[in-house]
């Protein structure tokens, strides 16, 4: 071995043997430089130390690492656990939660010791000797009510209002405007429809009277659904026989012959204005409409003949004010006055082409119907009513009519400051449950299953569920229609949601905006869905953002008790309507067993609550009202009870008590099982709902957008 290489190894023992080979860079040997690099790095790292070298044996001992382990209480040898084993345990990284854990503590309601006594219905037809004939109604109308509409006795509000509206005498009550305040479901619609028909029916004896005379009565409703309902009742009344059934030919020759010229019309947004103009040109003696569309035709349709209008009815006036129709109503009244002046001026100048005389001295009569007399309603009454009669009927035996000699402003103010507590029907059973947020959805399904099971023996059961907004209605409607139990395929009724989502994605790639819009809304065009969670039940929805035809089809499907070709429903099929507050006013839906307020009303307070629950227990029939209350909203129950307290102890005891029901009781009845088995079944239902949400891309995006919008 070379002597120089041996010397290098002796001086630099840290250099490995394989590094001893010499290599050149630029003609120089680099072995010594490579061997000194670790030494230089070591010197740089110890610059902060003193120049004195520290022996390796004097280095400090490295601190032992603490290991976190679960402490052991005992060993097999019986020795005490060591200090290392007694170290605090590390918290688990995975959190397992369920529907029935980590929920806020809810105080369980105390059991009711005394059973609830059924009160006498406060909105039922009167059982005394009062009859429509005794109130002065035409025998033809009375016969039609009894034979075709199965209405034999008037309600309290009809007994109070009909004499004042049917009177044609010269005393102070004739031809005065009327303010009607009454309990929900008490029959206000017939209170103004019957006087209008009786007033126009004698005109049928004149040969020169036909539908070209124009519009003689206008009924204004706040929503399209209520307008359609009033129109349906009106059409049923106008199909009556114009001759008595026992009339002989000799009697017919001696009496007046009535012609069938009374035709009703419906003007609402969403329909084509051209078709409406054609019907107005032919003539619509009785017109049911919404405010916006009526004002549109008054301003833009020259063939709209309203110069002879005799009646104007403002139904649900408090709702009209809530929706901001005050200026529209004022413009309508001014438009009607202007058209009447123009018609009278044409007659006076001899420019009118109409045949026959007309009583132009008779003024137009206005009826305003409202459940409450609030400040904005009083303002509307002051601008639209002239010297009105205020009629109230809150109980079957309590009728209030203001003094006819008092000024109308004082009469309305007196009625507003009097017994203005707006209460639901006394026969209505009101219940509530305090549900934690995680349990709300499965509790709703359990409650619906319970109500449907209890009424299985009936012909058909109908339940209305109120939600907070249109998006919530659409989400729950699609959720119930698309969910399937287990991991199998979805039901046929709900399977189109995913295909629609995929088709919409393909449309995005293609760029066809027109077909994309049609595909995106194809799922929303469905009217009815079914859910395996609610067997033998059709589910409908209703809110203001749906197309008019879809809204009307939903109401027809929900109200129908006979099989239909579109939905192929049987007479025993139950129905559930998911809706917003648009369905809380005026709608008379038959056979509604229960009303469920899944979301408490945020606007309108106790009045809106009473309007919602008033969709059941109508005209003397029974019903249930359920309210979902969050733990943070527990004080709402006492608040709403205080708002509905009547003036007497009897009213307070009957109308304002809300019975509390435990959530566990609802889950046990809805899902069945023994012991805690209902918890497992509720969890399975919750998981099936979550699987549908995770499967649908559009739903996940919708939830994400809603989550961010609530926090922005």
Q: Give the domain CATH number at 489.
A: 3.40.50.300
Q: Are strands 217-220 and 264-267 parallel, antiparallel or unpaired?
A: unpaired
pLDDT, mean of residues 67-75? 45
Res 112: pLDDT: 53
Virtual torsion, Cα 66, 68, 74, 78, nearest 10 deg: -30
In total, how many domains does the chain have?
Answer: 2
Res 293: pLDDT: 93
Res 410: pLDDT: 55
Residue where one domain finishes, among candidates 319, 352, 386: 386
Please list the residues that pair with 369 across neighbouring strands: 180
pLDDT, mean of residues 517-528? 55
Domain shared by 331 and 473, yes or no: no
Please report whether residue 620 resides in a domain. yes
Q: How far apart are CA 592 and CA 272, in angstroms?
A: 33
- Residue that wins the pLDDT comparison between 38 and 641: 641
Residue where one domain finishes, among candidates 386, 408, 442: 386
Please report whether residue 362 resides in a domain. yes
pLDDT of 265 over the 80 cut:
yes
Q: How far apart are CA 572 and CA 461, in angstroms?
A: 8
Q: How far apart are CA 74 and CA 81, in angstroms?
A: 6
Please report whether residue 292 resides in a domain. yes
Question: 168-172, 370-374, 614-618, 627-631 — which is least confidently predicted?
Answer: 168-172
Please list the residues that pair with 313 across neighbouring strands: 219, 367
Residue where one domain finishes, among candidates 370, 386, 402: 386
pLDDT of 336 over the 90 cut:
yes
Domain shared by 208 and 325, yes or no: yes
pLDDT, mean of residues 612-632? 87
Res 577: pLDDT: 96
Res 707: pLDDT: 57
Domain shared by 435 and 377, yes or no: no
Domain shared by 488 and 436, yes or no: yes
pLDDT of 654 over the 90 cut:
no
pLDDT, mean of residues 442-454? 93
Domain shared by 269 and 319, yes or no: yes
Please report whether residue 119 resides in a domain. no
Grade residue 96 by pLDDT with cuts at 50, 70 and 90: low
- The three-class DSSP label of residue 522 is coil
Please report whether residue 302 resides in a domain. yes
pLDDT digits (tens, 9 = 90+) for 411-441: 555 555 444 456 787 788 899 999 999 999 9
In terms of C-beta density within 10 A (0-12 exposed, 13-18 middle, 19 or more buried), how is residue 568 classed? exposed
Please report whether residue 531 resides in a domain. yes
CA separation (Å) from 446 to 307, 452, 678?
Answer: 57, 10, 10
Q: How far apart are CA 592 and CA 621, in angstroms?
A: 10
Question: 190-204, 371-385, 505-519 — which is least confidently predicted?
Answer: 505-519
Other C-beta atoms closer than 10 Å to the C-beta of 476 total 18
Backbone angles phi, psi at 531, to 5 degrees: -130, 135
Domain shared by 616 and 675, yes or no: yes
pLDDT, mean of residues 497-513? 39
Domain shared by 698 and 585, yes or no: yes
The full DSSP string for 258-286 is PP----EEEE-TTS-HHHHHHHHHH--SE
pLDDT digits (tens, 9 = 90+) for 383-404: 999 888 999 865 444 444 544 4
Domain shared by 303 and 436, yes or no: no
Domain shared by 595 and 461, yes or no: yes
Q: How far apart are CA 599 and CA 396, in angstroms?
A: 32
Domain shared by 455 and 336, yes or no: no
Q: How far apart are CA 188 and CA 370, in angstroms?
A: 9
Q: How far apart are CA 611 and CA 185, in angstroms?
A: 9
Domain shared by 469 and 600, yes or no: yes
CA separation (Å) from 83 to 6, 77, 385, 618?
Answer: 55, 17, 91, 76
Please report whether residue 188 resides in a domain. no
- Residue that wins the pLDDT comparison between 39 and 175: 175
Res 18: pLDDT: 46
Res 252: pLDDT: 52
Other C-beta atoms closer than 10 Å to the C-beta of 320 total 26
User: pLDDT above 70 covers what percent of the chain?
Assistant: 63
Please report whether residue 336 resides in a domain. yes
Q: Which domain does 310 fall in, by range?
A: 196-244+257-386
Q: How far apart are CA 157 and CA 183, in angstroms?
A: 9
Q: How far apart are CA 677 and CA 684, in angstroms?
A: 11
Res 200: pLDDT: 92
pLDDT, mean of residues 656-672? 90
Domain shared by 380 and 437, yes or no: no
């Amino acid at each position: 071995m070379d002597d120089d290489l041996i010397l290098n190894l002796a001086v630099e023992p840290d250099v490995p043997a394989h590094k001893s080979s010499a290599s050149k860079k630029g003609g120089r040997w680099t072995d010594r430089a490579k061997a000194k690099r670790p030494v230089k790095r070591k010197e740089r790292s110890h610059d902060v130390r003193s120049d004195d070298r520290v022996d390796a044996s004097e280095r400090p001992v490295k601190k032992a690492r603490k290991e976190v382990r679960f402490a052991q209480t005992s060993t097999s040898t019986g020795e005490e656990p060591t200090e290392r084993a007694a170290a605090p345990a590390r918290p688990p990284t995975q959190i397992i939660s369920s529907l029935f854990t980590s929920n806020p503590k809810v105080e369980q309601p105390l059991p009711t010791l005394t059973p609830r006594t059924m009160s006498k219905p406060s909105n039922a037809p009167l059982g005394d000797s009062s009859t429509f004939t005794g109130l002065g109604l035409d025998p033809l109308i009375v016969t039609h009510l009894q034979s075709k509409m199965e209405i034999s006795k008037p309600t309290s509000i009809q007994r109070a209002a009909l004499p004042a509206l049917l009177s044609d005498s010269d005393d102070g009550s004739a031809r005065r405007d009327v303010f009607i305040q009454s309990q929900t479901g008490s029959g206000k619609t017939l209170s103004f429809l019957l006087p209008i028909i009786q007033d126009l029916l004698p005109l049928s004896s004149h040969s020169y009277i036909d539908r070209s005379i124009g519009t003689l009565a206008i009924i204004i409703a706040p929503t399209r659904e209520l307008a359609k309902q009033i129109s349906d009742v009106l059409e049923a009344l106008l199909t009556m026989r114009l001759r008595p059934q026992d009339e002989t030919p000799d009697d017919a020759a001696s009496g007046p012959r009535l012609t069938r010229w009374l035709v009703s019309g419906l003007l609402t947004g969403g329909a084509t204005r051209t078709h409406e103009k054609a019907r107005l040109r032919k003539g619509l003696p009785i017109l049911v409409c919404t405010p916006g569309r009526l004002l549109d035709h008054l301003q833009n349709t020259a063939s709209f003949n309203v110069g002879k209008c005799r009646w104007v009815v403002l139904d649900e006036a408090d709702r009209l004010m809530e929706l901001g129709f005050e200026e529209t109503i004022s413009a309508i009244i001014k438009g009607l006055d202007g058209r009447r002046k123009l018609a009278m001026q044409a007659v006076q100048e001899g420019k009118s082409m109409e045949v026959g005389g007309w009583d132009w001295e008779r003024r137009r009569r206005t009826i305003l119907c409202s459940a409450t007399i609030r400040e904005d309603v009083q303002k509307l009454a002051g601008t639209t009513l002239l010297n009105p009669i205020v009629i109230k009927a809150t109980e079957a035996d309590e009728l209030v009519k203001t003094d006819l000699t008092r000024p109308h402003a004082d009469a309305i103010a007196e009625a507003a400051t009097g017994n203005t507590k707006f209460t639901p029907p006394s026969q209505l059973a009101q219940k509530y449950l305090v549900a934690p947020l995680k349990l709300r959805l499965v509790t709703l399904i359990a409650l619906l299953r319970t109500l449907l099971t209890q009424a299985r023996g009936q012909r058909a059961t109908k339940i209305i569920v109120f939600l907070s907004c249109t998006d919530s209605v659409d989400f729950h409607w699609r959720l119930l229609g698309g969910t399937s139990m287990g991991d199998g395929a979805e039901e046929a009724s709900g399977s189109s949601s995913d295909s629609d989502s995929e088709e919409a994605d393909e449309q995005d790639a293609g760029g066809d905006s027109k077909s994309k819009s049609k595909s995106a809304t194809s799922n929303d065009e469905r009217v009815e869905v079914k859910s395996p969670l609610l067997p033998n039940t059709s589910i409908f929805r209703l809110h203001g953002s749906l197309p008019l035809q879809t809204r009307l089809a939903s109401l027809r499907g929900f109200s129908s008790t006979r099989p239909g070709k579109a939905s192929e429903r049987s007479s025993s099929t139950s129905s559930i309507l998911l809706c917003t507050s648009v369905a809380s006013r005026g709608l008379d839906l038959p056979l509604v067993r229960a009303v469920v307020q899944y979301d408490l009303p945020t606007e309108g307070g106790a009045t809106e609550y009473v309007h919602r629950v008033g969709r059941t227990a109508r005209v003397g029939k029974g019903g249930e009202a359920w309210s979902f209350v969050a733990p943070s909203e527990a004080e709402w129950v006492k608040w709403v009870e205080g708002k509905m307290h009547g003036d007497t102890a009897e009213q307070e005891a009957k109308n304002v008590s809300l019975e509390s029901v435990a959530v566990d009781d609802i889950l046990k009845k809805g899902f069945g099982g023994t012991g805690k088995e209902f918890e497992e079944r509720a969890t399975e239902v919750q998981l099936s709902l979550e699987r549908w949400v995770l499967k649908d891309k559009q739903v996940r995006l919708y939830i994400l957008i809603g989550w961010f919008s609530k926090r922005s």
